[in-house]
Amino acid sequence: MVHPAEDVRPPTMADVAREAGVSHQTVSRVLSGHPNVRAATREQVTLAIERLGYRRNSAARALVTRRTRTLGVIAVNTALYGPASTLTGLEEAAREEGYLVSTVSLRTGEAQGLKDAIDHLASWGVEGVVAITPQRSHVQALAELDAPFPVVTVEGGHQLDLPGVSLDQELGARMVTEHLLAAGHGTVWHVAGPEDWLESEARTAGWRAVLEESGIRPPRVLTGDWSPLSGYRAGQELAGLALARRGTTPVTAVFVANDQMALGVLRALREGGIRTPAQVAVAGFDDIPEAEYFPPPLTTVRQDFAAIGRRSIGLLVDHIEGRARTAEHLLVEPQLIMRASTRPPHEA
Amino acid sequence: MVHPAEDVRPPTMADVAREAGVSHQTVSRVLSGHPNVRAATREQVTLAIERLGYRRNSAARALVTRRTRTLGVIAVNTALYGPASTLTGLEEAAREEGYLVSTVSLRTGEAQGLKDAIDHLASWGVEGVVAITPQRSHVQALAELDAPFPVVTVEGGHQLDLPGVSLDQELGARMVTEHLLAAGHGTVWHVAGPEDWLESEARTAGWRAVLEESGIRPPRVLTGDWSPLSGYRAGQELAGLALARRGTTPVTAVFVANDQMALGVLRALREGGIRTPAQVAVAGFDDIPEAEYFPPPLTTVRQDFAAIGRRSIGLLVDHIEGRARTAEHLLVEPQLIMRASTRPPHEA
DNA sequence: CACGCTGTTGTGAGCGCTAACAATCTACCT
DNA sequence: AGGTAGATTGTTAGCGCTCACAACAGCGTG
């Protein structure tokens, strides 16, 4: 069976020109909104375009303008709430700016994978890349890669000379810690995220700073790997300490570096017979949608992912279009969300 | 200040040809792996490519071959675990097939947004689109749009003549319901997802079918909107029924259409003083990473998102390359994950 | 030794578009 | 009326690549 329709090529600018009785250049002018085209001519062309269902060929355009108007996004762990939300924000912002955005998700942040991703995107002629690289080693690898186009990091810290956008993690951690101290707790314990993660370093730093400024010696830091399970383990340890009640600083408040680990901590405390928040207050970070329904609803820090996406695309486009040359770093403000998990007992 | 480096154009095939002392066509042959090139010549060309850091210009290539090797993905609600995971699977599979994939995330599934997304992708010359369209209305809109390229749906059902890939939602629901009946429950209540969602229809259908096959009259269906809050409300109602214990079918087992709502149900039951699973067993659907750490760990149905991604890209590429003409629909098998939330009391 | 075959390489055209320039047509001024 | 600036339109030359075809070498064969 023959499918003649498959051999019909889509109409070209020349077809439209013929249909409208003008030159292809006039069609081009109409399409790119050039002012010097008579209204009547413009009308003719527009009509012809509609009649033929014409569409500009982006490859031909890219070839002659040397602009693909394509951006790449490289992200690790895109199934997590944070990266996934950032991705949406990025994508929308890019579309508004008239760019196509192509995402590469990596399972792990190995240097080789990053290199391959950059390569894949480069071979498609992307004009710039946003990299969601929350681990120090990623950023390091990225900086050494020396990509042939501008790269903007998200949550990439600002120690290297790559431009980037981050949430003010340290401020978020300060807000939580201050909130707990204000509620009357003598100190605040901390379950940190894994080493090498910039977010986890910054959150720990903010927590530590507040305690030290209040003249409190920070207790030993417990460490997890962001997973509920690791939080559960840390929670068991904390439950033990809370019950033992001797030798160490009393455990009455815990700032957990993300909501998922906080879920594990809550479970461990509950299993240890410890009531939250009556005996131990718990706070998280991220405000995942489930946080509001944890037992009890979790106090946490919300990140404005859409804003992060918008600003990083803005920064990238500035670099591409030559409006920015410096390794600028933007910070987005976090928001403290107070819920039952840190409510002082007398208010409960 | 002048940046001379910016005026240097990237090397072209002609540059490589000159460097290697061959014609541009020979370079092209080496690049596309044509067999009839002498080994020594190939070597020369490869070296020259390396020396110059040459990269094929994808726009020029696309222009002449009329193949952009670009795929589009349209997804609604990408911040949710399911769509986000599918996205990763899709993206990896496409990359392996040598395609660039560009994602458009929509917040809502309105027909206009879908149309704009298709338009955006079409203007970049994508060769096909995978649409993650879990609502009946999306699929309807999509079918009416009549895109200028093949479209494959994910979780789009198979009533329309669009090819697609879905998890066997009905089978998953059957597995859960059978599991609960086998555990000795006289009936199974159901908290469904919102209407218009194909997944929620299929899950309800599977649940209903098992009950009817066992000669049990299905209890009234409660409905939520996938959110923990809506699950919480349904849970309050169920808690009331469980405690009232008269007039209605006893509430001892609940199949909730997704894990997030199950979280809400668990909380409501707990607040109503009902123990899970001792008094009421609860099961969910999706197996989000948190499910294992719910109070108690949730029995649920796992979906193989990577497989769904792989198979839908495979199907799409078959259509693009003319290997498939039918509106084939593939089903991926779900997996029941048994945890404490449905453990029979005597095993607990 | 002419012939045809296969393997290898080169030449020329053209994909659909934009940018630069040229040509023409107005409108307005002196 | 003549001249000129400005608006409007057309012409031409590539962008960097692949495809179709031509050219030529080396080889075995009748």
Dump pLDDT digits (tens) for B120-171: 999 999 999 999 988 888 888 888 888 889 999 999 887 777 899 999 999 9
Q: Phi/psi zone of residue A69: left (φ > 0), alpha (ψ -120 to 50 degrees), beta?
A: left
The CATH code of domain A169-303+336-347 reads 3.40.50.2300
Average pLDDT over residues A295-309: 93
Domains B4-56 and B169-303+336-347 share a fold: no
pLDDT of A250 > 80? The answer is yes
CA distances from A40 to A45, A46, A48 (A): 9, 10, 12
User: What confidence score (pLDDT) does residue A3 get?
Assistant: 38
* Cβ within 8 Å, pair B260-A289: yes
- Type of residue found at B54: Y
pLDDT at A341 over 90: yes
Instruction: Report pLDDT digits (tens) over A113-125.
Output: 888 899 999 999 9
Q: Which two tokens stand for residue B304?
A: 């193989």
- Please give the backbone phi and psi of residue A189, each rounded to the nearest 5 degrees, phi first: -80, 165
Task: Compute how many other C-beta atoms are within 10 angstroms of the C-beta atom of residue B58.
Answer: 22
Residue B108's pLDDT is 75
Assess whether B58 (CB) lies less than 7 A from strand D.
no
pLDDT at B346: 58
pLDDT at B213 over 90: yes
Task: Examine the pLDDT at A158 and tell me if it is beyond 80.
Answer: no
CB A155 within 8 A of CB A133: yes
Greatest Cα-to-Cα distance within chain A, rounded to the nearest angstrom: 92
Measured at the CA of B44, the angle between CA B42 and CA B45, to 5 degrees, comes to 65
List residues, Cβ < 7 Å, touching strand C: A 9-10, 12-14, 24-25, 28, 31-32, 56-57, 60-61, 63-65; B 21-26, 29, 35-38, 40-41, 60, 63-64, 66
Length of chain B: 348
Mean pLDDT of A184-196: 95
Q: Which of A15, A85, A117, A135 is nearest to A309 (CA)?
A: A85
Predicted local confidence at residue A295, as pLDDT: 86
Residue of A100, A114, A304 to mutate, interface with B, max B Cβ within 10 Å:
A100
Could you tell me if A48 and A11 are in contact, meaning their C-beta atoms sit under 8 angstroms apart?
Answer: no
DSSP string for residues in B110-160: -HHHHHHHHHHHHHTT-SEEEEE--BHHHHHHHHHH--SS-EEEES--SSS
CATH architecture of B4-56: Orthogonal Bundle (1.10)
Q: So where are chain B's domains? A: 4-56, 68-166+305-332, 169-303+336-347
Reported as a single tens digit per residue, the pLDDT across A212-239 is: 999 999 999 999 999 888 999 999 999 9
The closest of A225, A261, A257, A287 to A81, measured between CA atoms, is A287
- Residue A1 — pLDDT band, cuts 50, 70, 90? very low
Distance A177 CA to C25 C1' (A): 75
pLDDT digits (tens, 9 = 90+) for B84-104: 889 989 999 999 899 999 999
- In CATH terms, the fold of domain A69-167+305-333 is Rossmann fold (3.40.50)
Q: What is the CATH architecture of B68-166+305-332?
A: 3-Layer(aba) Sandwich (3.40)
Label residue B167 exposed, middle or buried (CB < 10 Å: 0-12, 13-18, 19+): buried
Query: In this complex, do B58 and A123 lie within 8 Å of one another by their Cβ atoms?
Result: yes
Q: Average pLDDT of chain A?
A: 90
With beta carbons under 8 A apart, name residues in chain A contacting B292: 228-229
Phi, psi of B238 (to 5 degrees): -65, -40
Coil/strand/helix, residue A181: helix
More confident residue, B273 or B327: B273
